[in-house]
Structure 1
Amino acid sequence: MKAFRTLDDVDLKGKRVLLRVDLNVPMEAGRITDRTRIERVAPTIAEIADKGGKVILLAHFGRPKGRDPKDSLKPVAAAVSQVIKRPVAFADDCIGDVAEKAIAAMKDGDVLCLENTRFHKEEEENDPAFVAALAKLGDIWVNDAFSAAHRAHASTEGLGHKLPAIAGRTMQAELEALDKALGAPKKPVIAIVGGAKVSTKLALLENLVGKVDALVIGGGMANTFLHAQGIAIGKSLAEKDLASTALRILDKAAKANCAIILPVDAVVAFHFEANAPSHAYGLDAIPSDGMILDVGPLSIERITSAIDDAATLVWNGPVGAFELSPFDKGTMAAAKHAAARTKAKKLISVAGGGDTVAALNAARVADDFSYVSTAGGAFLEWMEGKPLPGVEVLRR
């Protein structure tokens, strides 16, 4: 990874290391319900501590408007301690006397978590005085929060202009995986893009048709494309006002030599609910009062054979209403097929986005993909081809 400095490039012993991590974990009734984000950054924390650095964790939690006890990172710091199996001290602020005293008391290898950076509105404003107050606390800034890299905030971007800027191991793994997926991928490349609405993924589709060899469009988005081509889709979810946009994307794909793979059949139900009676129909026979809720068996075959033809797969969004059984069949089949190809060393597979991660977990294949990004917005913006402030500041 020549473009970014990593932990291999710095001497950490005795240094105060400001480590930006993503600790914005889901919590219910004061209990953390999913520790994935903590587990992802644990190796970076351990490595810095083991090399004699003083690990000072910077993170946000929730969307507080000023100081709010329910958005305190204190219970999260306790969970970090359990995951990394070493003590984690806590400071009741992220700048000023409280933070400075806590850091002054640290020994080499200690871990300290500072309070929620968003308790200060200046964090999200990337305010220079706030950046300076944070920078005063450390000798090195390590960014290990790819999921917050699309935001130019004080702790995610501003510090990179004040202190030596280093990519943590999670950030490094993410950037290396993304480079393999779209930066310098092994060809041919296939992308699967699903989800409900074309409008939320216009920039993504526009960018991908110029970069991939084949693009599978699924979910409610596919209905908009089918409607644009004059296919009757009954009462299916679709953004009919975006028909001309869909045709423009198809035209752009044709000029870029990118094959667009749309459903050739569909599973239709008459109620949007789990286990609603359903039936597979050809596209020329969709009932006028029916709703397309998943791709049909012929479409699944088409998607799996397109995966067979690819060396690299990038995936964002399910191809059907995967949260309702049995309309998860298309997404599950594609996920399991891609996972099997990856395990057989025939495919590099990179997936991301909340629904996609949920679908891969439901199919129990997330661990078999080459890389699964837990970064929602940042992953999407990267796929759209946008520069991410928290990544750009890390470049050598």
Structure 2
Amino acid sequence: MKTLKEIEVKGKRVLIRVDFNVPMNEAGEITDDLRIRTVLPTLRYLLEQQAKIIICTHMGRPKGQRVDKYSLAPVAAYLARLLDRPVPLAADCIGPEVAAAVAQLKDGEILMLENLRFHPQEEKNDPQFSAQLAAVADVYLNDAFAVSHRAHASVAGVTEYVQEKAAGFLLQKEIEYFHRCIDIPQRPLVAIVGGAKVSGKLEALRNMLERVDKMIIGGAMANTFLKSQGYSVGGSKVEDDLLETAAALLKQAKAKNIKVYLPVDVIAADRFAPDAVSKQVTIQDIPDNWMALDIGPASVICFCEVLADARTIVWNGPMGAFEMAAFARGTMALAHAVAASHALSVTGGGDSNAAIALSGESENISYMSTGGGAFLELMEGKVLPGIKALG
């Protein structure tokens, strides 16, 4: 996989795939610009090198139709302010109008293409659509780690029709950090895995158990593991069809001498609501029909002790329903512990990163990945289509 500095871009037409699928409010204002700001180093380098820059991205799920609320006009305007230069928006992402707009580009100028997903062929990785995207470019750059697990036309198919292809600085950074954490970690390597479902992270758990020294499991998915060990978890969310699988994973870990830490107490509530009645209980004492919505203080102490001597930490998924203040303490405590550790720490997934941002510890985490699904697939040991296509 070539990287940006390995290729000559001066005066060339550079098609760069980014992920500017940013959240916006009803007024069309961007509420979180992280995905835009993380690509600025690549864009500024291309500007310094006097490349002709053609930005392509998707927004939302318009299902192959032109939907006004998913237009990239607000994104183009926002990027123009950040870069302090014009960023015109093309009327489409392929076709004669796009070719004409690109032909007018001077060295060091930028054009943003309209939403890729206005065309159903994008998600179908249609060869003709891929060729049309590539027709306006001399060089293709992938700087969209968050969609690199998707074999879409702008991520994979387009690479078959360009002269040169490479990874942008963001994609390069994502891969390098993950490589340092998983392939050549300083040990002990501790994985923190949380979130709602075991089913969504089953392959990641299996793969990580081949690599880690210790694993902390929290969030609603911990209920399935606890129930598999004979605990009654009241009305907590459980995947009953995966009880045997959960038990087998714990048995696998024990056979490999990998320590897996589950909650020993929880904050249980009578319903899933911010104003629910809640109390701290041990995992043996969860009341019938009550649900575990956060790890308890004893679990926090235990998990923080596990992290104290970690040299590498990989975190995916919160410890509870942190979006509700009453059930955020466990996740916040772990965020502070990870930030205070002397470990190389990498987090991935929207919920994990949102929780860390809420804790105020973003600046103290080694690297916060921009990818959720892509990060998880790397944890599963998979080769991402977007990265394979650059090879």
- 1:361 has 2:361 as partner: no
State the TM-score, normalizing by the size of structure 1. 0.94
Shift of 1:325: 2.0
Structure 2 Cα separation of the partners of residues 183 and 63 of structure 1: 35
Structure 2 Cα separation of the partners of residues 54 and 39 of structure 1: 20
State the TM-score, normalizing by the size of structure 2. 0.95
Shift of 1:286: 2.7
Shift of 1:275: 4.9
Partner of 2:89: 90
Aligned residues: CA RMSD: 1.5
Partner of 2:109: 110
Structure 2 Cα separation of the partners of residues 224 and 108 of structure 1: 57
Encode CA deviations 1:230-273: one digit per residue, 9 max, x unaligned: 11222222222321111111112122322110012222232322
Kept after mapping to 2: 8 A contact 1:275/1:324: no
Partner of 1:235: 235
Partner of 1:392: 388
Give the 3 Å change call, closer, same or farther, for CA 293–66 of structure 1 in structure 2.
Answer: closer
Partner of 1:10: 7
SS in 1 for 2:325: coil
Kept after mapping to 2: 8 A contact 1:267/1:280: yes
Give the 3 Å change call, closer, same or farther, for CA 253–67 of structure 1 in structure 2.
Answer: same
Shift of 1:384: 1.5
- 1:26 has 2:23 as partner: yes
Partner of 1:152: 151
Q: How many residues align?
A: 388
Partner of 1:44: 42
Kept after mapping to 2: 8 A contact 1:68/1:119: yes
- 1:171 has 2:171 as partner: yes
Structure 2 Cα separation of the partners of residues 170 and 282 of structure 1: 43
SS in 2 for 1:176: helix
Shift of 1:379: 1.3
Partner of 1:258: 258
Partner of 1:68: 67
Structure 2 Cα separation of the partners of residues 292 and 142 of structure 1: 45
Shift of 1:125: 1.7
Unaligned stretches of 5+ in structure 1? none
Partner of 2:76: 77
Partner of 1:133: 132
SS in 2 for 1:293: strand
Equivalent residue letter for 1:373: S
Encode CA deviations 1:316-346: one digit per residue, 9 max, x unaligned: 11112212222211111110011011xxxx2
Structure 1 Cα separation of the partners of residues 140 and 272 of structure 2: 49
Structure 2 Cα separation of the partners of residues 183 and 169 of structure 1: 20
Encode CA deviations 1:162-186: one digit per residue, 9 max, x unaligned: 2211110111111111111212222
SS in 2 for 1:91: coil
SS in 1 for 2:220: helix
Q: What fraction of aligned residue pairs are identical, expressed as a percent?
A: 47
Give the 3 Å change call, closer, same or farther, for CA 276–118 of structure 1 in structure 2.
Answer: closer
Shift of 1:297: 1.6
Partner of 1:315: 315
Structure 1 Cα separation of the partners of residues 57 and 273 of structure 2: 39
SS in 2 for 1:151: coil
Structure 1 Cα separation of the partners of residues 200 and 142 of structure 2: 28
Structure 2 Cα separation of the partners of residues 185 and 215 of structure 1: 15
SS in 2 for 1:11: coil
Equivalent residue letter for 1:392: K
- 1:374 has 2:373 as partner: no
Structure 2 Cα separation of the partners of residues 107 and 12 of structure 1: 13
Partner of 2:160: 161
Encode CA deviations 1:261-307: one digit per residue, 9 max, x unaligned: 00122222323222544332223333334322221222111111111
Encode CA deviations 1:146-171: one digit per residue, 9 max, x unaligned: 01101111111112222211110111
SS in 1 for 2:375: helix
Equivalent residue letter for 2:358: A
Structure 1 Cα separation of the partners of residues 60 and 289 of structure 2: 42
Structure 2 Cα separation of the partners of residues 352 and 172 of structure 1: 16
Structure 2 Cα separation of the partners of residues 265 and 12 of structure 1: 57
SS in 1 for 2:105: coil
Encode CA deviations 1:118-156: one digit per residue, 9 max, x unaligned: 222221121222211121101110100001101111111
Structure 2 Cα separation of the partners of residues 306 and 153 of structure 1: 40
Kept after mapping to 2: 8 A contact 1:268/1:279: yes
Structure 2 Cα separation of the partners of residues 279 and 77 of structure 1: 48
Structure 1 Cα separation of the partners of residues 219 and 71 of structure 2: 38
Structural mapping, 1:279-298, within 5 Å: 279-298=279-298
SS in 2 for 1:109: coil
Kept after mapping to 2: 8 A contact 1:77/1:88: yes
SS in 1 for 2:39: helix
Structure 2 Cα separation of the partners of residues 276 and 16 of structure 1: 57
Kept after mapping to 2: 8 A contact 1:210/1:258: no
Unaligned stretches of 5+ in structure 2? none
Structure 1 Cα separation of the partners of residues 337 and 275 of structure 2: 24
Farther-moved stretch of structure 1 (73-82 vs 288-297): 288-297
SS in 1 for 2:244: helix
Equivalent residue letter for 2:96: D
Shift of 1:39: 1.0
Farther-moved stretch of structure 1 (52-61 vs 128-137): 128-137
SS in 1 for 2:340: helix
SS in 1 for 2:154: coil
